[in-house]
Amino acid sequence: MIKRIIGLFVILTIGGVVLVSFTPKKRVDLSSYSTEGLDLYYITPNFNEIEDDLNNIIIYPELGNSYVGFKEALAFKESRGDYGVVNQFGYMGKYQFGIGTLALIGIKNKNDFLNNPELQEKAFYANLSRNKWILRRDLKWFTGRRMNGVVVTESGVLAAAHLAGPGAVKKYLRSGGVDGFSDAFGTTIRYYMKRFSGFDTSFVVPNRKAKVQF
């Protein structure tokens, strides 16, 4: 008899535990967690701003501030150093030249240009040489001055001229930084002047009629 009572008790206990385990849980009212009325609009920094925050983490320590360091840093920014790339706006090669600029320095066949790394390097120097001649007075007047928080340097000016053209850089400098420029990606003259400042570009000889010899 005692065994039967104990057995019955055990069965009832197990049954109660099972019943409790299957009891539906109370629903959570999620209405209090609504996002209605909250400001969910965020502005993320653009690529240039991120690079500035990282203090230009991509560097070439073995090249230092030499002319080679300058051109390779600029090439990395333009195309990641790819001689064969053409972007969506038609700019070509390692230094992202447009057809018009190439014509000015004597290059008319874009296929020859894209397939010839040596020609691209000569084109880069010739364009720098031409821009340095066009901006020779501005380099004399403004180098060392601070404009929009950036110290004007020769390498920064030449890099900006590669981005925007020497005419746009001349307007920027002579307006005290008021007459600005930005390309299709939002990159500005000020940004290039800051990023590529302090390189030694004395190697580049100013030449009004600079052409690529090939």
- Give residue 54's pLDDT: 39
Mean pLDDT of the chain: 81
Looking at the domain assignment, is residue 72 inside a domain? yes
Buried b (16+ CB within 10 A) or exposed e, 151-182: ebbbbbbbbbbbbbbbebbbbbbeeebeeebe
- pLDDT of 84 > 70? The answer is yes
- Give residue 174's pLDDT: 95
Count structural domains, the chain: 1
Higher pLDDT, 7 or 173: 173
Domain coverage including residue 118: 47-195
Higher pLDDT, 51 or 80: 80
Amino acid at 67: Y
- Give residue 149's pLDDT: 95
Task: Measure CA 89 to chain center.
Answer: 16
Looking at the domain assignment, is residue 7 inside a domain? no
- pLDDT of 206 > 60? The answer is yes
Looking at the domain assignment, is residue 105 inside a domain? yes
122 confidence band (pLDDT: 50, 70, 90): very high
- pLDDT of 181 > 60? The answer is yes
- Give residue 34's pLDDT: 43
Buried b (16+ CB within 10 A) or exposed e, 49-66: eebeeeeeeeeeeeeeee
Looking at the domain assignment, is residue 128 inside a domain? yes
From 63-67, 134-138, 140-144, the region with the lowest mean pLDDT: 63-67
Which two three-digit tokens encode residue 133?
Answer: 């001649």
Closest by CA to 83, choosing from 112, 45, 42, is: 112
53 confidence band (pLDDT: 50, 70, 90): very low
CATH number of domain containing 156: 1.10.530
For residues 206 and 136, the answer to whether their CB atoms sit within 8 Å is yes
